[in-house]
A and B are shown apart, each in its own frame.
Chain A
Amino acid sequence: MREFIDGSTAIVRGALDSGCDFFAGYPITPASPILMAMMRELPPRGGVAIQAEDEIASIGMCIGAVMAGARALTATSGPGMSLYSENLGLAIMGEVPLVVVDVQRLGPATGGATTVAQGDVQFVRWGTSGGFPIIALAPSSIADCYRLTRRAFELAERFRCPVFLVSDKELNLTTNTIEAGEAGGVGTPTASAHAVPALAPVGGDDLVRFTGSTHDERGFLTKDPRKVERLNLHLAAKIEQHRDEIELVEADLVPQARTLVISYGVTAGGQREAVRAARRTGHAVSSLVIQSLWPVPERALASALHGIERVVVAELNQGQYLREIEKLAGSREVVGLQRIDGRLLTSDQVLEAIV
């Protein structure tokens, strides 16, 4: 049995199967199908979905709802991400578990509303003031859209921080064939594992003091340098010290390969076909698809780079992740394969770059 579905539907299913019961969003191409689906799906399930007055209100409502005990999702695209910026900082500071889908489109500004790009990769990492770490996952197939949405909710609650699902127009709106069950929708979903105590909600038995200002352990404003440092070290360390646990890649490595091709998101599709084609003609090529963009999966990269002389980084921007690979590649040759004309990198283009 097979299924013909798009990434957007797989993300919505992933959220519903994760127990998401709150959604707020604002219409924007190509993220609107998620908003429209959640408006249909949540109310009959006893949840709340709302179209807010703007993107600032969308993420603000989600943060409020999470602090009242809800499990929340929001979805937008580049221009909306710009408006999310200040509240992403609040979610980091207030340690709010929140999943944010960025369905990337071509920027800057309005850019290409119906045009694909992967231009927000560094933006999600550095998208708010202060420079504190976040977690970002990039689905590379429709099955990933489901699976990584589930994982995003788990990570958000485990580490109490915003987790981005970095998708794009083509991944969300292209319909493809999968085997039944690869993107949920069959049987009852298994509950997420909660490795940390559930959040104490506003309205619960313990009085909650939430603040976006630098605060002490009881939630009161402080400028005491020891307390300030302790808070800020904690916000970074809770993610940095668990990099291995967050790390997620699809490694298809060949021991004798001297060339490694790396991509993420929708670009991985062309890469997988290109690698197969290269091997059919006798070229030993290793392939790494990065599913956890942030923090950078350094352990998996170190392992994949072993024995490699040449690295090709394929992406739909001007080398945003290339620079992360260069930091880890030592003296190896690192080349970018890039496209920013609103079209996808095809398997032929990737093949040409790796053989």
Chain B
Amino acid sequence: MSPAPVTVTPLSTYRNDTPYPFCPGCGHGPILDRLNEALVALGRDPHEIVLVSDIGCSGLSDQYFDTHAFHGLHGRSLTYATGLKLARPSLTVIVIMGDGGTGIGGAHLLAAARRNLDLTVLVFNNFNFGMTGGQHSATTPAGALTSTTPGGHLERPLDLCATAVASGATYVCRATSFDADLGRRIGEAVAHPGFALLDIWEPCTAYFAPRNRLGKKATTELMASLGFERGLMHQSEAPEYGAVYRAAARGVSAATSVASTLIEPRFRSSLTRPFRLVLAGAAGGRVGTAAHMLCRAAILSDLFAAERRDYPVTVKTGYSLAEVVLSPAPIEDATVAAADALVVLSPEGRAQAAPYLSRLVSGARIFALAGIELTADERRVERLDPSAAPRKLPSDVIATTMVAAVALRLELAPLAALRAAAEGEGDPARMSAAIDAAERLASAP
């Protein structure tokens, strides 16, 4: 037996019973009536439609439709629409914003157009802020009278459509609220699978129209006098952002970068109290790698370790500092107020090392790369010269070599622990060479 046929009754309206609140002659009501016609023609489930309204008189629009409604902040409607559509791709998302919203939310308009997410933007463009007293907006023509341009507007209007086209919108059309085919255009824009913008010019009968004698005929003439095109300006096919995002996500490796890398202590350190070191070097000198290696070697040796970093806002220039605390007990205070050992790895680190030099603990050890002058009693400085190794070490393992040598001299962690930790920090062959060099350096006079 075949299943009973399902009868679908298209909605005759998406409007509710509440009358519009707009001024007599305002274009908002007629545009919303055309939107309703477009929705009826498209026949989509109202549960799959959300009207996202911006601020101003047009921001009231969502209340007159029995669909989902989202009324947010001024100029930000495109951001809410983007979140709604990305989180629930099946939604038909229609943004209603005024010319004010396009101005304050200009960055969002550019970004949304470039993304080509499947959103429809209906701009209710009446050239001024109607709700707040007729102030000028981003689309107010030069010379126009508004409550904030009593001598005529001095700025030129934003060409919304040209801006949207230049930014990559894939459906762009300019219309007026008087157009007989406006409902069809709205339907086209909503059905378009990408970012669609419809710039709809209309009269603000409270302020802009009477001040500037902008009726139906003058609205059309204004377009021509500004040299703004009318009708469908651009329609193209381009990958829709949501679809592209989901396809790209399927190709991304599922390997997580935040999974636990557990360390099982299997060596022993002779350390019986907290020990605080400062490693002072240069950005790009792998100070972080060296500090990380030392900490992991310590944890492998049944210690606790903490590594606090300090660096300027520049990237491959300037200093790079690491404060390292090693302790037989969990570490709460990861700062180094007074260091047990200071390791100066490069000239850039010297200035950063200076404050630590003045507050070392009694009996603290000072290590420096050969050739770096310090403002310390030279007899106290232990010089390490990795270049004395039989084979020249690559520059990216100098810091690791120095720090491993210091760890050996201070008996912070055994050689095997340093070797195991180093091999986890980079190319095993290079890291192994670094530890070999460290072993020689540690025993050098």
A199 to chain B, nearest CB (A): 12
Stretch at the interface among A131-139, A224-232, A253-261, A267-275: A267-275
Chain A residues with Cβ below 8 Å from B91 are 68, 202-203
B25 to chain A, nearest CB (A): 23
Given contacts A44-B252, A344-B335, contact A2 B80 (CB under 8 A): no
Let me know if A60 and B83 touch, CB within 8 A: yes
B6 within 8 A of A: no
Instruction: Provide the A56-76 mask, 1 if CB < 8 A to any CB of B, else 0.
Output: 110011111111111010000
Let me know if B257 and A63 touch, CB within 8 A: no
Q: Which 3 A-B pairs have the closest CB atoms?
A: A64-B83, A60-B79, A185-B260
Bound Cα distance from A71 to B277, whole angstroms = 42
A80 to chain B, nearest CB (A): 14
Let me know if A40 and B257 touch, CB within 8 A: yes
Let me know if B73 and A177 touch, CB within 8 A: no
Let me know if B79 and A64 touch, CB within 8 A: yes
Let me know if B84 and A176 touch, CB within 8 A: no
Chain B residues with Cβ below 8 Å from A212 are 71-73
B47 within 8 A of A: yes
A54 within 8 A of B: yes
Let me know if A53 and B111 touch, CB within 8 A: yes
**Nearest opposing residue in chain B for A59, CB measure:** B79
Bound Cα distance from A208 to B70, whole angstroms = 8
B411 to chain A, nearest CB (A): 19
Chain A residues with Cβ below 8 Å from B308 are 170, 174
Q: Which of B64-83 contact A (CB under 8 A)?
A: 66-73, 76, 78-83
Let me know if B252 and A43 touch, CB within 8 A: yes
A316 to chain B, nearest CB (A): 12
**Nearest opposing residue in chain B for A11, CB measure:** B258
Q: Which of B60, B79, B83, B299 contacts A56 (CB 8 A)?
A: B79
Chain A residues with Cβ below 8 Å from B404 are none
Main SS class of interface, B: mixed
A221 within 8 A of B: yes
Instruction: Provide the B259-284 mask, 1 if CB < 8 A to any CB of A, else 0.
Output: 11111110000000000000000000
Let me know if B84 and A211 touch, CB within 8 A: no
Given contacts A4-B299, A174-B307, contact A69 B86 (CB under 8 A): no
A75 to chain B, nearest CB (A): 14
B248 within 8 A of A: yes
Q: Which of A136-157 contact B (CB under 8 A)?
A: 141
**Nearest opposing residue in chain A for B259, CB measure:** A185
Chain B residues with Cβ below 8 Å from A46 are 249
A32 within 8 A of B: no
B336 to chain A, nearest CB (A): 9
List 22 A–B pairs whose Cβ atoms lie within 8 Å, in order of A's numbering.
A2-B304, A3-B261, A22-B87, A40-B252, A44-B252, A50-B86, A53-B110, A60-B76, A60-B108, A63-B79, A68-B87, A87-B73, A114-B311, A174-B307, A185-B260, A203-B48, A203-B50, A211-B71, A212-B73, A213-B71, A220-B63, A348-B337
Bound Cα distance from A176 to B245, whole angstroms = 35
A48 within 8 A of B: yes
Let me know if B313 and A53 touch, CB within 8 A: no
B359 to chain A, nearest CB (A): 11
Bound Cα distance from A53 to B305, whole angstroms = 39
Bound Cα distance from A349 to B48, whole angstroms = 60
Bound Cα distance from A114 to B308, whole angstroms = 12
Chain A residues with Cβ below 8 Å from B299 are 2, 4, 177
Chain A residues with Cβ below 8 Å from B88 are 68-69, 201-203
**Nearest opposing residue in chain A for B325, CB measure:** A176
Q: Which of B90-108 contact A (CB under 8 A)?
A: 90-91, 107-108
Let me know if B258 and A185 touch, CB within 8 A: yes
Chain A residues with Cβ below 8 Å from B69 are 207-211, 219
A84 to chain B, nearest CB (A): 12
**Nearest opposing residue in chain A for B76, CB measure:** A60
Chain A residues with Cβ below 8 Å from B256 are 40-41
Bound Cα distance from A62 to B80, whole angstroms = 8
Chain A residues with Cβ below 8 Å from B67 are 207
